[in-house]
Amino acid sequence: MIVLNRPADMVALREQYVAARPFAHAVIDGLFDDDDLEAVLADFPSPDATRWVRFDNPLEKKLGFAHDESVVSERIRRFLDAENGFEMLLFLEELTGIEGLIPDPYFRGGGLHQIEPSGFLKIHADFNVHPKLHLDRRLNMLTYLNKGWRDEWGGHLELWDADMRECRVKIAPLFNRTVIFSTTDTSFHGHPHPLASPPGVTRKSVSLYYYTAGRPEAERSAPHNTIFRKTKGWWQK
């Protein structure tokens, strides 16, 4: 069983979520039981232990998990299933006010992520329509698995304003820290600076994306892939 530690004051947390800038988001420490995440971390595949999808270009240098070609442990599978389960969906709906959330059984672009030293992910807004289910992408949930993470290693998740004038929020990828945010065409985010961790120390996370059948009219746009935006020195690795 995966333990979800629901915050005691959901009303206050929802108010903070909706009012957060540059776009609706929440940073929650200890959302999951530490032992559950310790188990996921213990089974987390190293960069060469299994098949990863490798991205290496001026916009992203990272590892994504090839779920259709690799096998995850029972403990990792249990955690992923719980994040797609009814208890999590009800919690997310209560937090965000977005009703009718639908999980992604295919983990399109989600699941396990890993960034090696010198890796990065430039500032972007995510694809907006699921290519198989044709549902609207509404919510991202990122849970970090990095114990003993040092601030000078970088790897912070940056949230930028809609005009791409400045980074408004930086979030360190600490163990059992979960970031939840609403996804629109202007929810610009990323990890744009090369990771400065020591050799062999990677930035590990589990990413889940949630959808609805339709979205508010003001948020509608034609289906698109990831939208990258330029920042100062964005081309530098």
- 159 forms beta bridges with 169, 189
Contacts of 55 (CB under 8 A, 6+ apart): 61, 62, 63, 64
Which residues, in sequence order, are CB contacts of 32 under 8 Å at separation 6+?
Answer: 2, 3, 4, 5, 143, 176, 178
pTM of the model: 0.95
Tokens linked to 46: 């190293």
Write out the chain's pLDDT in tens, 237 residues.
Answer: 789 999 999 999 999 999 999 999 999 999 999 999 999 999 999 998 888 999 999 999 999 987 776 788 999 999 999 999 999 999 999 999 999 999 999 999 999 999 999 999 999 999 999 999 999 999 999 999 999 999 999 999 999 999 999 999 999 999 999 999 999 999 999 999 999 999 999 999 999 999 999 999 999 999 999 999 988 654 443
Residue 137 covered by a domain: yes
Show the domain range for 99. 10-214+223-228
Is residue 131 situated within a structural domain?
A: yes
Number of domains in the chain: 1
Pair of tokens at residue 196: 């400065």
How much is the pLDDT for 71? 80
Residue 83 lies in a domain: yes
In a domain, 4, yes or no: no
- Domain assignment present for 79: yes
Assess if residue 237 is contained within a domain: no
User: Within a domain: residue 234?
Assistant: no
Residue 215 in tokens: 């979205």
CA distance 196 to 171: 16
Residue 19 burial (10 A CB sphere; 0-12, 13-18, 19+): exposed
Here the CATH number for the domain that contains residue 81 is 2.60.120.620
Q: Say what the pLDDT of residue 235 is.
A: 45
